[in-house]
Amino acid sequence: MKAYASYFSNKLLWFLVTLVAAFLLNFFLPRLMPGDPVAAIVARMAQGMTNTSGVQAIYEQYTELFGTNLPMHEQFFLYVRNVLRGDFGYSFSQYPRTVADVIGASIWWTIALQLPAILVGWIIGNTLGVLAAYRRGGFDKVLMPSSIFVSNLPAFGMAVILLVVFGVTLRWFPTSGGYGFDMIPNLSWDFIWSVIVHYQLPFWSIVLITIGGQAIGMRSMSIYELNADYVKYSRFMGIKDRQIVGYVFRNAMLPQITGLALAIGTMVGGALVAEIIFSYPGLGSTILTAVLGGDYPLISATTLIVTIMVLIANFAIEIIYGFLDPRIKAAQSD
């Protein structure tokens, strides 16, 4: 048990160090970008204004409101204080909306699209990968090349193909939006159905790509494990096939689980491509707009969420690994 405690505290320490470093980067990196985001707001305000003093007054009013007139370190401490209170401030690009409001409005669309897509893609991909490794033969010969092909398609390519084939040509699915262009959100079957229908193309554009990559990875891992000495030895010992498959699966899964955790950690970053091609609501395009517009508070908040989620996912994995695979714990606590 002592080994576990030492392993755990070691991981926790590194978790905190990484968090602090990431937090610093989240704050400072966006602010090192060229361009003055407050100028963009003033631009909206000042169009058509011809008096110098008026423009200057507006500029000063907003630099004060957003605190961009303060030295960087003061801004940082203000930011830390506010973040600890759960206040991410105003979004520059969507002023006067707050960052919390902006994220709150889009994040559920993103999670609802990404989480099932990642899970389904992961499960199908890994299952296909294991099958290919076991069955070999024709199944493998078809699956491998098609997986490689699909996983190497750029995401926008897959999205556009689905859009053109199933949306524009066959007209099986709508081409844009999160729900019917003529609907108002409500709790009716019509509306729920509309959401389901609009969900399909963005969903599959992510799933198909995920499947390919996962299948290739899982197939290689499984083949490697199937040839490992312990498998041969187990067979020699007369251990049942099912039990051996269990060992193999468990060992081959480890890297795949890491991949899954990272995917889930980064999913809040949004499915930018699917969102743009299908005009689907979500955080991805919000973040893109924020980056292009130098919207520091929004960039910092979204990257902070991504950072924390990735760190938590990693931390959880490390801890679970400790239990799952004694080799890792042993190696780490030496």
Partner 1 sequence: MMRNKFIGLVGLLVILSLTLGACGAPATTTDAGAPQAVEEATQAPAEEAAAPAQEAAAPADANTLPRDETLYFNGQQWGSVVGWNPYSSSNNNAMAISQGDNARVIMFETPYLYNMLDGQVYPLLADGDYTWNDAGTELTFKLKSAAKWSDGTPVTAEDVAYTWATHVKYNTPIGAANVDYIEDIVAVDPQTVVVKAKLDDAGKAVNPLLVAAYVSSNYVMQKAWTETLEARVGDDATAFLADPAEDVVYSGPYAKYFADDSKVVYVRNDNYWGQGPSMWGKLPAPKYLAHVIFKDNAAGTTALQAGEVDVSQQFNSNVQDLWLKDNLPISTYLPEAPYGIGASLPTAWYNLNSPGLDQVAMRKAIAIAVDYPTIIANAMTNQSATFTQVPRSLMNPTEGEQAMFDHAAVADLQWAGNDVEGAKKLLDDAGIVDSDGDGWREYNGKKLSYVATCPNGWSDWQAAIEVVAAAGKEIGIDITTNFPEWSVYQTVVTKSDTPLPEGYDIFMMGSNGAGPTQPWGRARQMMSSEFIGMPSNWNGNFGGYTNPEADALIQAIPAETDPAKLKEMYTELVKIYLTDVPSFTLMYRPQSFHTVNESVWTNFPHEGDGTNPPVPPLNLTDGWSIAGLYNLTLVNP
Q: Which of residues 141-170 bind partner 1 (CB under 8 A)?
A: 160, 163-164, 167-168, 170
- Nearest-approach distance from CB 302 to partner 1, in angstroms: 11
Q: Does 15 bind partner 1 (CB under 8 A)?
A: no
**What span, in angstroms and rounded, lies between the C-alpha atoms of 108 and 118?**
15
Q: Does 137 bind partner 1 (CB under 8 A)?
A: no
Q: Please state, in angstroms and rounded to a whole number, the distance separating the CA atoms of residues 194 and 119.
A: 23
Among 7, 27, 88, 95, binds partner 1 (CB under 8 A): 95
Residue 100 binds partner 1, judged by CB under 8 A: no
User: Interface mask (CB under 8 A) for partner 1, residues 231-270, using x and -?
Assistant: ----------------------------------------
Residue type, 116: P
Interface region with partner 1, contact rule CB under 8 A, candidates 11-19, 142-150, 184-192, 251-259: 184-192
Say if CB 97 and CB 104 are below 8 A apart: no
Between 7 and 59, name the residue whose CB sits nearer to partner 1. 59
Binding residue (CB under 8 A) for partner 1 from 115, 131, 153, 155: 131
Alpha-carbon distance of 141 to 134, in angstroms, equals 12
Point out which span in 6-14, 276-284, 307-315, 320-328 binds partner 1 (CB under 8 A): 276-284
Residue 90's φ and ψ, nearest 5 degrees, are -85, 145
Nearest CB to partner 1, comparing residues 38 and 267: 38
Rounded to an integer, what distance in angstroms lies between the CA atom of residue 24 and that of residue 30? Answer: 11
Nearest approach, Cβ of residue 55 and partner 1 (Å): 4
CA distance 231 to 55: 75
Q: Report the site for partner 1 in 200-219 (rule: CB under 8 A).
A: 200
DSSP class of residue 98?
A: B
Q: Is 42 in the site for partner 1 (CB under 8 A)?
A: yes
**97 vs 235 by CB, closer to partner 1:** 97
Q: Does 43 bind partner 1 (CB under 8 A)?
A: yes
209 and 121 Cβ atoms separated by less than 8 Å: yes
Closest listed residue to residue 105, CA positions, set 291, 296, 308, 302: 302
Q: Which residues pair with 98 in a beta bridge?
A: 90
The answer for 285, left when phi > 0, alpha when psi is -120 to 50, beta otherwise, is alpha
Q: Give the nearer residue to partner 1 in terms of CB position, either 8 or 249.
A: 249
CB 130 within 8 A of CB 251: no
Q: Which is nearer to partner 1, 98 or 314 (CB)?
A: 98
